[in-house]
Chains A and B, each alone.
Chain A
Amino acid sequence: MKKVDNQVNTFVTRVDDLQCEWTFVDNRTILLNGKEVNAVIEKVAESEISLLLDGKFYHIILTESATGYIALINGEAYQVEIVNPLLNKFEEIVGQASSLQHPDEIRAPMPGLVVKREVKEGENVKAGQGIVILEAMKMENEVKSPKTGIVQKLFVQDHQIVEKGEVLALIL
Chain B
Amino acid sequence: MKKKIKKILIANRGEIAVRIQRTARELGIATVAVYSTNDRHAPFVLNSDEAYSLDGATAKETYLNSQKILNIAIASGCDAIHPGYGFLSENPGFAKAVEEQKIIFIGPPSSAIRKMGDKTAARKLMSNAKVPIIPGTLNPIKSYDEISNIVSEIGFPLLIKAADGGGGKGMRKVDSYSELKTAFEQAQAESQNAFGSNRVYVEKFLTNPRHIEAQILADSHGNVIFLGERECSIQRRHQKVIEESPSSVITPELRSEIGTMAVCAARACGYVNAGTVEFLLDSKHKFYFLEMNTRLQVEHPVTELVYGIDLVKSQIQIAEGDALVFSQSDILPHGNAIECRIYAEDPENDFFPSTGIITHYHPSEGYGIRNDSGVCAGFTVTHLFDPLLAKLIVWGSNRSEAIQRMQRALREYAIGGVATTIPFCNFVMKHKNFIHGDFDISFVEKHYKNMESTSSETNTRIAASLAVAFVTKNKTSPSPPNSLKKNDINRWKIMRFEES
Contact = CB atoms under 8 A, between A and B. Distances in A.
A63 interface: yes
Contacts of B407: 75
B328 interface: no
A95 B173 CA distance: 45
A9 B476 CA distance: 9
A152 interface: no
B472 A75 contact: no
A45 B377 CA distance: 12
B477 A8 contact: yes
A77 B147 CA distance: 43
Contact of B473 (A9, A48, A59, A63): A9
Contact of A75 (B355, B426, B453, B462): B426
A20 B493 CA distance: 26
Interface stretch (B156-164, B207-215, B262-270, B382-390): B382-390
A155 interface: no
A156 interface: no
Contact of B497 (A15, A93, A137): A93
Given A72-B416, A140-B186, A47 B359 contact: yes
B416 A61 contact: yes
B463 interface: yes
B250 interface: no
A77 B423 contact: yes
B494 A141 contact: no
Nearest to A93: B497
Contact of A15 (B414, B419, B461): B461
A30 B352 CA distance: 36
B423 A90 contact: no
Interface residues of A, number: 72
Contacts of B477: 8-9
A9 B463 CA distance: 18
Interface string B458-475: 111111111111111110
Interface of A is mostly: strand
A143 to B, nearest CB: 9
B464 A71 contact: yes
Interface stretch (B45-53, B187-195, B312-320): B187-195
Interface residues of B, number: 68
Interface in B30-71: 59
Nearest to B418: A63
A121 interface: no
A5 interface: no
A137 B459 contact: no
B497 A94 contact: yes
B422 interface: yes
A138 interface: yes
Interface of B is mostly: helix
Interface string A64-83: 11001111111111111010
Contact of B353 (A62, A63, A136): A136
A100 interface: no
Contact of B384 (A22, A61, A137, A140): A137
Contact of A140 (B190, B360, B416, B418): B190
Contacts of B413: 75
Interface in A28-81: 30, 32, 37, 39, 41, 43, 45-49, 51, 53-54, 56, 58-65, 68-80
Given A47-B417, A139-B353, A79 B466 contact: no
Given A75-B423, A137-B353, A53 B490 contact: no
A45 to B, nearest CB: 7
Interface of A: 8-9, 11, 13-16, 18, 20, 22, 24, 30, 32, 37, 39, 41, 43, 45-49, 51, 53-54, 56, 58-65, 68-80, 82, 84, 86-87, 90-91, 93-94, 96, 109-112, 115, 118, 130, 133, 135-141, 164
26 contacts: A9-B473, A13-B468, A16-B453, A18-B458, A18-B465, A22-B470, A32-B462, A41-B466, A46-B360, A60-B467, A65-B419, A70-B348, A72-B414, A75-B425, A78-B454, A78-B464, A86-B498, A87-B494, A90-B494, A93-B497, A110-B354, A118-B182, A138-B169, A138-B385, A140-B189, A164-B355
Given A32-B466, A69-B468, A96-B494, 18 more contacts: A13-B465, A15-B461, A18-B462, A20-B465, A39-B466, A43-B471, A59-B414, A61-B414, A62-B416, A77-B348, A77-B422, A90-B497, A91-B494, A94-B497, A110-B354, A112-B383, A139-B190, A140-B189
Interface of B: 59, 169, 182, 186, 189-190, 193-194, 237, 346-349, 352-356, 359-360, 383-387, 407, 410-419, 422-423, 425-426, 453-454, 456, 458-474, 476-477, 490, 493-495, 497-498
Going nearest first, the 8 A-B pairs with the smallest beta carbon separation are A71-B464, A22-B469, A78-B464, A77-B423, A47-B416, A75-B410, A13-B465, A75-B426
